[in-house]
Structure 1
Amino acid sequence: MRLAPLFCLLLCGTTLANELDGHYQGLMNEQPTELILRSSGETLSGEYVENRQSRYPLSGRLDGQVLKLRVNDPVSGETLANINANYANDMLNAVLATRHPQSGETLVRDGLFQRIGPAPDPSLDPTLVGTWVNEREPHVRDGQLLAPAQITTLRIRADGSIAQWARQVGGGSEWSYDRPGELQYSGRWRSDDGLLLVRLKGAADFQPAAHYRFDQPYLVTRSNTGEMKWQRR
């Protein structure tokens, strides 16, 4: 993990509570870095995203003109970093002071973050966003093809839309061609503590679709139809 245990960011501005909310991008230690900030009064929350992959929860508060945040371990909840910064014109001018976990040496890093849009909806787990593919092997018994191989494609978008297609693949004399992909469902999605919920197109409510977890490089889902492994494409 590149994130060292201590950070210091300094932030100034006037009506910070009303201005800070947003999704910021920049470079920190030559690595693409994102800050996602949300405010509720003086209470702050969000995420620190490193190299588009490693995600760390943020929590903290506004103390006058100073933004004070903690970067937390996503599993243990342990505080990994403390953050302060400067805000002006949709930008965060960041100075990060980090302490190396082994040597204890203090490292200073500079970074300028530009707001690129609103903070993502917290009910949409960003790690799910993307196109995922599941490949099912053909089912053969006594030399007979009972079910052809099938490729299922699941597309989860950051705008809250979701769709799934299935395509059968040739696997024998009667399966010498690929069938076109057929839309299985589409609608809206959200997440809740490892549970994927889907509201099908035309339906009124969200319904549980599958529990999910990550077993790199796979997304693993478990539902009443069994467990499936998906690979990002």
Structure 2
Amino acid sequence: MPRYLLLLLCLLPQRLLADSLDGHYLATLDGQPSEIHLRSQGQHVSGDYIEGASLRLRISGQFDGQLLEAQISDPQSSQLIANMNATYANGMLNSHIVARSPHSGAILERKVLFHRQRVGTTAQANQISSPARDPALIGTWVHEAAFNGNPAEPVRQMILQLRSDGSMSQWQRSMAGGGATDNLTPDELLFSGLWQSRNGLLEMQLNSQTRYQPAAYYRLSGQQLITESNTSLLTWRRHTE
């Protein structure tokens, strides 16, 4: 029995790596829908990179539990097309892709955030003409963060407004610290556009974009909205007049 237990413990880390990374990821790159399908065996990763309706490439690389180092190549000629380094956290791949043009030799770099699709989410679901919107998200949400972590210092407020017609906007301002409500700076619009939600994922389409893109996973707790991406965990309170 101890021999089999030891074998199981040796295989367990590899199995956990596979379970954490395997899946179907979506993003929008240069206005084109992009997909990554990943499969793991131990630290070795293989899969497909799909962009638009015609480009399908092969992915091969290594994953150590946090960092994915991979090569993207042509499946027919095996010619290297691009290198991709990505950090994985919470079902998201924060990716840096570097490609070299085979004709001009010019280097093209892109940073893109891929979100893993949850079970039951398909490409067909993403094409629904009437966007789904969680009614509990509709309203104005405020996130506050003290400068330098000192409550007595000025506070930066971010205000997110999600409207029932699908429009949205976010702006920021500085407030006096110590519980004061005086504005130190005028409201500054950060971005505006459209929003939708599905399966606990908040998606936004900014005015400069043509497609919805994943913004953050979310959950509601009373009058608080908690958003989580691979770079931040923010708590918002519902603003009431």
In which range does the TM-score fall when normalised by the shorter chain? 0.3 to 0.5
- Of structures 1 and 2, the larger Rg is shown by 1
Bigger helix share: 2
TM-score w.r.t. the length of structure 2 is 0.40
Considering fraction of residues, name the structure with more strand. Answer: 1
TM-score by length of 1: 0.42
Higher-RCO chain (CA-CA 8 Å, sequence separation at least 6) = 1
